[in-house]
Amino acid sequence: MRRLAVGLVTIGLLLGLAAPAHAAGTQDYAPVVIVHQEHLAAGPYELTVGFSTWPVRAQQSLDFTFEPAGGIDRFTGTLVVVSPAGEEENLRRPPGVDGLPRHPRQPAAWGLDVFALDEPGDWTFTFGLDGPLGPATATLTVPVSEQPGPPLGLSWLISTVPLFVIAGVLAVAVARGGRQPVRTR
């Protein structure tokens, strides 16, 4: 048993030491690769919307970039995204904030990184730009098709097995515990 304990500790140490080293050597975050662009006219300005995946599918994460001609330094921008059901997305911003965030891995542009649109249907992106020639708005409709992979119902059925196991264990425990005498406190 002592050897077993030593073995377990050794494995743990190896994991603890080897994996960070491996992680440090192999981190490879995907660069922002735009495979599709939409060009919008927002009043006197031009705005290019880039997508790292096209066509967009529901719940599949991708990177969006939003680049006004002349660069984001000349503008302030806002974005309101509304789902096909008519609900506004908060885009990871605090409540009441609608400013455009910079794309973390492409900070010269605004954007959304690792972002997914939940539902299939037509999503509405409404941009507000305020620059040297005054404020202007533009709207883009982004069609989103059904989510990839197996039907969500099947995925959830597969994924909730441990939940049912927990429910079963707890149900047995509650039934058995109910047969115990009340403890005097």
Q: Where do contacts with other proteins occur on this chain (CB under 8 A)? A: 1, 4-5, 8, 11-12, 15-16, 19-20, 22-23, 26-30, 53, 59-62, 92-95, 97, 99, 101-102, 104-105, 107, 113-116, 147-149, 152, 155-156, 158-163, 165-166, 169-170, 172-178, 180, 182-185
**DSSP code string of 8-69:** HHHHHHHHHHHHHHHHHHH--PPP----EEEEEEETTEEEEEEESSSSEETT--EEEEEEET
Which residue, 41 or 157, is less far from other proteins as judged by CB?
Answer: 157
Which residue, 94 or 132, is less far from other proteins as judged by CB?
Answer: 94
Supply the DSSP symbol for 145.
E
In angstroms, the CA 110 to CA 77 distance is 9
* Measured CA distances, 6 to 2, 9, 10, 13, 14 (Å): 6, 5, 6, 10, 12
Shortest separation between residue 32's beta carbon and other proteins, angstroms:
10
Shortest separation between residue 136's beta carbon and other proteins, angstroms:
22
Which residue, 30 or 69, is less far from other proteins as judged by CB?
Answer: 30
Peptide bond into 104 cis (omega under 30): no
Shortest separation between residue 181's beta carbon and other proteins, angstroms:
8
Which residue, 133 or 171, is less far from other proteins as judged by CB?
Answer: 171
Which residue, 40 or 113, is less far from other proteins as judged by CB?
Answer: 113
